[in-house]
Structure 1
Amino acid sequence: MNAFQQRLVAFDVSLYYLCFGTCRLSVMSIASRLISKLGNGGVYLATGLLLAWFELEDGADFLMTGLVLFAIELPVYIFLKKAIKRDRPCDRFDDVTPQITPADKFSLPSGHAAAAFVFATALTYYYPSLMLPAYTLASLIALSRVFLGVHYPTDIIAGAALGLSSSVIGLSLLGLV
Structure 2
Amino acid sequence: MWQKLDELDRDGLLRLQRLPGAPIWQPMARGISLSGDGAGYLLFALLLAELGGARGVAFLFAGLAAFAVELPIYWLLKNSLRRGRPCHVLGEVMASVEPHDRFSLPSGHTAAAFIFASLLAWYWPPLAGVAFAWASLVGLSRVLLGVHYPGDVLVGAGLGLWSAQLGLSWVG
TM-score, with structure 2 as normaliser: 0.95
Contact 2:62 2:164 in 1 (8 A): no
CA distance in 2, matches of 1:65, 1:122: 7
Give, as a single letter, the amino acid of the residue that structure 2 aligns with 1:143.
L
CA distance in 2, matches of 1:144, 1:73: 21
Worse-matched range after superposition: 54-63 or 140-149: 54-63
Give, as a single letter, the amino acid of the residue that structure 1 aligns with 2:33.
S
CA distance in 1, matches of 2:25, 2:15: 13
Change beyond 3 A, Cα 1:23–1:107: farther
Is 1:32 aligned to residue 29 of structure 2?
yes
Change beyond 3 A, Cα 1:137–1:33: same
**Identical columns (%):** 44
Report 1:22-171 matches (<5 A): 22=19, 25-171=22-168
Worse-matched range after superposition: 63-72 or 51-60: 51-60
Cα deviation, residue 24, structure 1:
6.3
Change beyond 3 A, Cα 1:129–1:160: same
Worse-matched range after superposition: 102-111 or 5-14: 5-14
The CA RMSD over aligned residues, in Å, is: 1.3
In structure 2, the residue corresponding to 1:58 is in which secondary structure? helix
CA distance in 1, matches of 2:54, 2:120: 14
Gapped regions of structure 1 (runs ≥ 5): none
CA distance in 1, matches of 2:111, 2:69: 11
Gapped regions of structure 2 (runs ≥ 5): none
Contact 1:23 1:148 in 2 (8 A): no
CA deviation profile, 1:110-136 (whole Å, cap 9, x unmatched): 000100001111111111111101111
CA distance in 2, matches of 1:22, 1:41: 28
CA distance in 2, matches of 1:24, 1:99: 14
Q: 2:169 maps to what in 1?
A: 172
CA distance in 2, matches of 1:173, 1:112: 23
TM-score, with structure 1 as normaliser: 0.93
Give, as a single letter, the amino acid of the residue that structure 1 aligns with 2:119.
A
Cα deviation, residue 45, structure 1:
1.1
How many residue pairs are counted as aligned between the two chains?
172
